[in-house]
Amino acid sequence: GGQATYLHCDITDDDQVQALVAAAVGWRDRVDVAVNCAGFEQSTPLADLTPDKLEAMHAVQLTGALYCMRHLCNAIAAHGEGGSFLSLSSQTAHSPSIGMIAYASAKAAVEYATKIAAVEYGPKGVRCNAIAAALIETPMTSRIFTIEPVIQAVRELTPLGRMGSAQDIANALMFFASDASG
């Protein structure tokens, strides 16, 4: 069994992200793998998208993701043996739907930023990938799972005929975190 610890960090604050990474490096002397999965969703059609709602969504989904990407990729590159930085994205970045403009635009931006990070950090041995999850039942999406016709439609549009699970996403993350994804 490995050891684990919990550190609180507001990823919208660059200083807190930098302190989190410094604490992680101080605890284990290095960072080999990092996953940015912080996020929240607040459906709002464009007609009702206020500056406060947009800024809140992008602060976590985009700005915070970039702070994490920067500090953690730097930490992974620092020890010279490579590693993996992963971001969770969303299929909403590829499948337009009503009310998802702030969330989906941020996730699309994170995917593109991940491509740039892969080019910049690849020569340093850092693999950068994003996993665009489909509709997965989590506390954030639980209200959608109460609408049976929506869930049935997703099942019917999915080749395997089932909803994805958090374990499916964890399995993909484990693959990309491992050297097998090299």
Query: Angle CA(60)–CA(66)–CA(68) in degrees, nearest 5?
Result: 85
Spell out where the chain has E strands: 33-36, 83-90, 126-133
Residue 139's pLDDT band (cuts 50, 70, 90): low
Who wins on pLDDT, 5 or 56?
Answer: 56
Tell me the whole-structure pTM to 2 decimals. 0.86
Residue type present at position 25: V
CA distance 170 to 175: 9
For residue 75, what pLDDT is reported?
A: 98
More confident residue, 142 or 83: 83
> Among 2-6, 49-53, 98-102, whose mean pLDDT is lowest?
2-6
- The pLDDT of residue 145 is 59
